[in-house]
Amino acid sequence: AFTYCILIHGLCQCQRIDEAYQLLDEMIQKDCHPDAAVYNCLIAGLCKMGKIDAARNVLKMMLERSCVPDVITYTSLIVGCCQTNALDEARKLMEKMKESGLTPDTVAYNALLNGLCKQNRLEEVSKLLEEMVEAGREPDTFSYNTVVACLCESGKYEEAGKILEKMIEKKCGPDVVTYNSLMDGFCKVSKMDEAERLLEDMVGRRCAPTVITYTTLIGGFSRADRLADAYRVMEDMFKAGISPDLVTYNCLLDGLCKAGKLEEAHELLEVMVEKDCAPDVVTYSILVNGLCKLGKVDDARLLLDMMLERGCQPNLVTFNTMIDGFCKAGKVDEGHKVLELMKEVSCTPDVVTYSTLIDGYCKANRMQDAFAILGISPDKASYSSMLEGLCSTGKVEEAQEIMDLMTKQGCPPT
RNA sequence: CUGUUCGUAUGGCCAGCC
């Protein structure tokens, strides 16, 4: 049974869920009763992939076989709910856990805390922190790190600083994750000097930087179009004995593409391959975007085909990028064809997809076609692209009709 | 043997900066 658990866990880590299911079946057939840990592995794997319904099914299966869910089971499910923004569900699970006589531990609370943070529900965050204290589950370094990351994300640096003080006071870090979050906060607002100063602080405090630390900085410099600095940090990283990973390369690649340095981008790609860092869907999307923005839409389209050939499935972002590329190049029909293609490969379009196309049609003065898209997806993003399109071409009456329509469709203008 | 925190790609609008 141990062996199975290890195997299932391994399979779930590399998203090979089907094989994990097969193993579970095998266990049951061999009369080798799977325990909670085995089910938990599968549930956690599914939850991480956002397949919460499948995870719930495993829970059912578990109950049918009279295997009792534990705190870990619930925590994994909470994570799953949070990932799909189903916070009410997550809260319900927390209650259910308590009802069934289990006491949530700090990890369970942290999972919910993270969900609240991701949605920026700051009042609820502080409430939950209080609840933790009341329940005798003092927030730990994970809890504080979660909150710090959240505060940095929403630009509340003073508050993040306060948490930092509290952490020091409670001897709960700060650790490398705390620093990385703070650093990312500075990078996102282009305060690169402050971000770099944090790196010095870390080293001074004997808090060893990780690949994430360096990648955060490299990403910041790339975004700020400071490629020389990005390369400099990369050098420092090598000197510190840390190897770049796929994300690091993708950050740099994006910087190169956005700066129009396609030659260098291709060179970097070769380096990646040499270093056994196989390009992933993000790498390709970066390249597609780069090609599109430099007016090489047809090359981008070829790259998309190449992905399919190489078995690297383009995702929502790749397709959206491609559609925008065609629209901006004045080839809206080609863009629409990509929409059809994504449906063929069962990639579900989102609000970005539709608003991109609506914008494309409007800018091409093809209002009927734009309306047709709006008909498929009458959401806020689509409406605002449509309104923008109508207003910028002086069709104010039509715009007002749209506003009425929005109210009727239960999507009132804001 | 299993669960929690940090880094990468896409549209429009608005704000800010030059």
Distance CA A381 to C1' B13 in A: 10
Which of the nucleotides lies closest to A145 (Cα–C1')?
Answer: B5
Through-space separation of residue A310 CA and nucleotide B5 C1' in angstroms: 35
Give the C-alpha separation, A398 to A387, whole Å: 9
pLDDT digits 0-9 by tens, A74-87: 999 999 999 999 99
Q: What pLDDT, on the 0 to 100 scale, is given for residue A98?
A: 97
Q: Predicted confidence band at A209 (pLDDT cuts at 50, 70, 90)?
A: very high
Q: Which residue is nearest to nucleotide B11 (CA to C1')?
A: A356
Average pLDDT (A226-252) is 98
Within 7 Å of a protein beta carbon, the nucleotides of strand B are: 1-13
Which nt is closest to the CA of A287, judged by C1'? Answer: B9
pLDDT in tens, A318-327: 999 999 999 9
3-class SS string, A255-324: HHHHCCCHHHHHHHHHHHHHCCCCCCHHHHHHHHHHHHHCCCHHHHHHHHHHHHHCCCCCCHHHHHHHHH
Region A38-55: what's the mean pLDDT? 93
Q: What angle do CA A308, A313, A316 make, to 5 degrees?
A: 120
CA at A412, C1' at B5: how many angstroms apart?
A: 37
| Per-residue confidence band for A88, with pLDDT thresholds at 50, 70 and 90 | very high
A41 CA: nearest nucleotide by C1' = B2
Q: How far is the CA of A281 from the C1' of B12 (A)?
A: 24
Mean pLDDT of A388-393: 76
Query: How far apart, in whole angstroms, are the C-alpha atoms of residue A412 and residue A246?
Result: 43
Tokens of residue A166, six digits: 């509290």
Local confidence band at A146 (pLDDT 50, 70, 90 cut-offs): very high
Q: Which residue is nearest to nucleotide B16 (CA to C1')?
A: A189
Nucleotide nearest to A72 (CA to C1'): B3
Q: Give the pLDDT confidence score for residue A361 in this predicted structure.
A: 96
Residue nearest to nucleotide B3 (CA to C1'): A72
Which nucleotide lies closest to A173 by the C1' atom and the CA atom?
B5
Distances (CA, A) of A303 to A260, A283, A284, A330, A411: 17, 11, 8, 19, 38
* Res A50: pLDDT: 87
Query: What is the model's pLDDT at position A300?
Result: 98
Tell me, what's the ipTM? 0.89
Closest-approach nucleotide to residue A179, Cα vs C1': B6
pLDDT at A371 over 90: yes
- pLDDT tens-digit map of A169-188: 999 989 999 999 999 999 99
User: What pLDDT shows up at residue A220?
Assistant: 97
Mean pLDDT of the A373-399 span:
80
pLDDT of residue A2: 81
Measure A218 CA to B14 C1' (Å).
29
Phi and psi for A100 in degrees, rounded to 5? -80, 15
Name the pLDDT band for A380 (thresholds 50, 70, 90): confident
> Closest nt to A9 (CA→C1')?
B2
Rounded CA–C1' distance between A224 and B18, in angstroms: 14
Task: Give the pLDDT score at A410.
Answer: 73
Q: How many Cα atoms are found within 13 Å in the side-chain-facing hemisphere of A82?
A: 25
pLDDT of residue A78: 97
pLDDT in tens, A118-133: 999 999 999 999 999 9
Per-residue pLDDT at A307:
95
What is the DSSP secondary structure assignment for residue A379, as one 8-state letter?
Answer: S
* pLDDT of amino acid A249: 98
For the stretch A336-346, pLDDT in tens is 999 999 999 99
Quote the tokens at residue A33: 């009763």
**The two three-digit tokens of residue A70, written as one number:** 């534990």
Spatial distance from the CA of A220 to the C1' of B14 (Å)? 24
d(C-alpha A386, C-alpha A373), whole Å: 10
Closest CA to A59 of A48, A75, A73: A73
- Residue with tokens 């930092």, as numbered in its chain: A164
Asked if the model's pLDDT at residue A412 lies above 90, the reply is no
Share of chain A above pLDDT 90, in %: 82
Rounded distance in angstroms from the CA atom of residue A135 to the C1' atom of nucleotide B14? 44
